[in-house]
Amino acid sequence: MSEEEKPQEEENQEQEQEQQNGEEGEAGEENEEKKEEAPVLDEQEQKDLEEDKAEEEKDKEEEQVLDEEGNPVPNAGPKQPQNPLKPQMLKDNLSNLAKTFDGLSYAFTKLDIHEKELDGLGEELGNYNLLRDFNCSNNKIPDINHLSKMTYISTIDASTNSIKDISMFNVEDSFLYLKSLNLKQNKIKVLPKMYAVYLEDINLSENRISDCSQFTGLPKLKKLNLNQNKIKSCKGLSNCPLLDVLYLNQNRIKSLEGIEELPKLRKLRLKTNRIKTFDFLPDLPSLQKLTISENQIEVREEFAKLCKYEKLHKITLETNPYFDNSGVTPKTEVIIQMGTLLELKFVNKEQLVKEDYEDAAKTLQERKEKEEEERRQREEEERQRREEEERIRKEKEEEERLKREEEERIRKEKEEEERKQREEEERIKREQEEEEARKKAEEEAAAKAKKKEEEGEGDEEKENEEKENEENEDKENEEKENEEKEDEEGEGEGGGED
C-alpha cells in the first residue's frame, strides 16, 4: 500500500467504526426505551412468564434434529417424521363401510389410528377424502393439514399430539360437514377464525392458547371447551347464537369483557382464574349454571352483582379469599347477596333448604347489628376525633396568640429601645452641635478680639504718624514762617539800604 493510500484507508476505518458505534448507540437507546416501557409484572405474572419460557425451550429441544450419537445437527432444517403413517397401517385401521354421499358406491368412512406412536400422517391419507370419522389421538403428530382434503369429514379426534397450528380451519368453504373437533392436549397457541359452519363441539382444553381475538364465532356451535390454557382476555368469544356451554377453567382471566352475543349460553365455568371484581358482566339472558370458585374475590358485594342473571339456578364459588376470612359459608352469603334470584336452588352443588335461609336471616341480622355498632363506634370515634382536632386547633390558636403577644411585646420593647437610642443620639448630637457652636463662638470672639487688637495698634501708629506729620507740618510751617519772616526782615533791611 502506498503512503497516499494509508490515510484514506484509516479514514474509511474511522467512518465505519463511528457508524458501528452509532448503530450500537441507537440499539442501546431502543433497548432502554423498551426496558422503560416494559410493564411491571406481579409475582404470578412473573411465574407465568418463566413457565412460558421453559415450555418454549423444551419445544426447541424436541424439534432439534439429532445425529446417531444424540447430538444436535446444526442447520438441519425441519425435523423429518421418523414414524409416519404408512399405507398398510392406514388400510388395516379403516372401518365402517358405508354408501357414499352420492349413493353410487361404498367407501370406508372411519379411520382409527390412535396410540400408534406416529409422528406424521403421510401423503397417502389425502387419497381417502371420503372419510367421515377420524381418530389419531395419543400420538406425536405435529399437524393435521392433510385433513383439509377430506370434504365429508364430520368428527376429528386429534387429542394428545404435538399440533401447534390449526389455521387450515380459517379457509372458506372448508370442513363444511364437520360437527365435532377434539384437539385436547396439544400445543396450540391461537384460536383462529373458523369457517366450519356446522361445527357444534370444540375441545381445545390443555393447550397453550393465549389469544382468542381472531375467533369470530360459529353459527351452530353448542359447546366450547377452553379449559387449562393461558387465556387472559375473553375478546373474540362472541357471536355464537346457539352456544350452550363455555368452559374457561384454569386460565389467566381477570375480566369477562369480550364475551358477547351468546343468548343461549346456559353453563359458564370460570374456575381457577384471577377474577377479583365483576366490573363488567356480559348479557347472558339464559345463564343457569355459573362456576367462579378458586378466583380472587375478596369483597362480598361483588356477589350481589350476579343478581343480573335472573335465571341462575346453580352457582359454585368456594375457595375465594372472602370465604377464607369472613367466617360465613358460601350458601349463607349467596342467600344474603343474591336472595332476590328466585330460580337459585344450588350453591356449591348443595341444595338450598329452609334452614339455610334461616341461618342467612340470622347472619344478616347479626351483620346489621354489628354494622350498626360499628357505625356508632365510627361516629363516636369521629366525634372524638373532631373534638381532639378542635382542642388541638384551640391550643394552636392560643399558642399563636401568645406568640403574637410576645412578638408584639418584643417589638414594642425594641421600638422603645430604638426611640431611647435615637433620643440619646439626638442629645449627644445636640451637645456636640452646642459644643461646636460654643467653640466656634469663642473662636470668632477670639478672632474678633485679635482683629480688634490688631486694628487698635494700627490706629495708634496712624495717630502717632498723623500726629508726627502734624508736628512736622507745624514745624515746617513754623520754619517757613520764620524763613518768610526772616526774608521780610531782610527785605526791610535791604530797602533801607537802598
pLDDT tens digits for 230-253? Answer: 999 999 999 999 999 999 999 999
Look at residue 86 in the predicted model and tell me its pLDDT. Answer: 93
Q: Show the cell assigned to 498.
A: 537802598
d(CA 46, CA 43): 5
- Would you mind telling me the total number of residues written for the chain in this entry? 498
Using an 8 Å Cβ cutoff, are 196 and 178 in contact? yes
Using an 8 Å Cβ cutoff, are 291 and 266 in contact? no
Look at residue 64 in the predicted model and tell me its pLDDT. Answer: 72
Ranking 18-27, 46-55, 310-319 by mean pLDDT, the lowest is: 18-27
Q: Is residue 151 part of a domain?
A: yes
Using an 8 Å Cβ cutoff, are 132 and 110 in contact? yes
Using an 8 Å Cβ cutoff, are 291 and 271 in contact? yes
Look at residue 498 in the predicted model and tell me its pLDDT. Answer: 39
Look at residue 497 in the predicted model and tell me its pLDDT. Answer: 44
Look at residue 34 in the predicted model and tell me its pLDDT. Answer: 47
Q: Show the cell assigned to 301.
A: 358485594
d(CA 118, CA 144): 12
Using an 8 Å Cβ cutoff, are 167 and 188 in contact? no
In this model, does residue 158 exceed pLDDT 60? Answer: yes
Between 458 and 338, the more confident residue is 338
Closest of 239, 236, 330, 336 to residue 291, by C-alpha: 330
Q: Is residue 179 part of a domain?
A: no
Using an 8 Å Cβ cutoff, are 240 and 261 in contact? yes
- Using a CB cutoff of 8 Å and minimum separation of 24, what contacts does 97-104 make? 98/132, 100/130, 101/152
d(CA 405, CA 160): 89
Q: Is residue 389 part of a domain?
A: no
Q: What is the pLDDT of residues 199-228, one digit of tens each?
A: 999 999 999 999 999 999 999 999 999 999
Ranking 61-70, 155-164, 238-247, 294-303 by mean pLDDT, the lowest is: 61-70
Look at residue 348 in the predicted model and tell me its pLDDT. Answer: 94
Half-sphere exposure for 251 (CA within 13 Å, toward CB):
29
Give the domain range for residue 125. Answer: 80-163
d(CA 332, CA 351): 12
Ranking 8-17, 279-288, 438-447, 448-457 by mean pLDDT, the lowest is: 8-17
In this model, does residue 8 exceed pLDDT 70? Answer: no
The beta strand positions in 1-125, using DSSP E, are 94-99, 106-112
Q: Give, for 316, the enclosing helix (H) or strand (E).
A: strand 314-316
Q: How confident is the model at residue 410 (pLDDT cuts 50, 70, 90)?
A: very high
Phi, psi (degrees; rounded to nearest 5) at 16: -60, -40
Query: Which phi-psi region, left, alpha or beta, contains residue 315 (left: φ > 0; alpha: ψ -120 to 50)?
Result: beta
Q: What is the pLDDT of residues 38-54, one digit of tens each?
A: 567 788 889 989 988 99
Q: How confident is the model at residue 350 (pLDDT cuts 50, 70, 90)?
A: very high
**SS3 at position 155:** strand
Closest of 201, 209, 193 to residue 155, by C-alpha: 201
Q: Is residue 85 part of a domain?
A: yes
Q: Following DSSP, what letter does each residue of 395-452 receive, concatenated?
A: HHHHHHHHHHHHHHHHHHHHHHHHHHHHHHHHHHHHHHHHHHHHHHHHHHHHHHHHHH
pTM equals: 0.71
Angle between helices 330-338 and 354-497 (to 10 degrees): 70
**SS3 at position 378:** helix
In this model, does residue 496 exceed pLDDT 50? Answer: no
The whole-number average pLDDT for the span 279-296 is 96
The whole-number average pLDDT for the span 286-309 is 95
Phi, psi (degrees; rounded to nearest 5) at 182: -115, 105
In this model, does residue 341 exceed pLDDT 70? Answer: yes
Q: Is residue 135 part of a domain?
A: yes
Using an 8 Å Cβ cutoff, are 323 and 330 in contact? yes
Look at residue 124 in the predicted model and tell me its pLDDT. Answer: 87
Look at residue 419 in the predicted model and tell me its pLDDT. Answer: 92
Query: Which phi-psi region, left, alpha or beta, contains residue 247 (left: φ > 0; alpha: ψ -120 to 50)?
Result: beta
Q: What is the pLDDT of residues 376-396, one digit of tens each?
A: 999 999 999 999 999 999 999
- Residue 139: CB partners within 8 Å, gap ≥ 6? 113, 114, 115, 116, 117, 118, 119, 160, 161
Look at residue 306 in the predicted model and tell me its pLDDT. Answer: 95
Domain total of the chain: 1
In this model, does residue 488 exceed pLDDT 80? Answer: no
Q: Give, for 134, the enclosing helix (H) or strand (E).
A: strand 133-135
Half-sphere exposure for 293 (CA within 13 Å, toward CB):
12
d(CA 279, CA 302): 9
* Rg, the chain, Cα only: 60
- Kindly report the average pLDDT of the chain as a whole number: 87
d(CA 98, CA 109): 7
Look at residue 9 in the predicted model and tell me its pLDDT. Answer: 56
Between 73 and 21, the more confident residue is 73
Q: Is residue 373 part of a domain?
A: no
The beta strand positions in 154-266, using DSSP E, are 155-157, 180-182, 201-203, 223-225, 245-247
Q: Give, for 267, the enclosing helix (H) or strand (E).
A: strand 267-269
Residue with the three cell numbers 359458564: 268
In this model, does residue 481 exceed pLDDT 80? Answer: no
Look at residue 127 in the predicted model and tell me its pLDDT. Answer: 87
In this model, does residue 254 exceed pLDDT 90? Answer: yes
Q: Is residue 192 part of a domain?
A: no
Q: Is residue 110 part of a domain?
A: yes
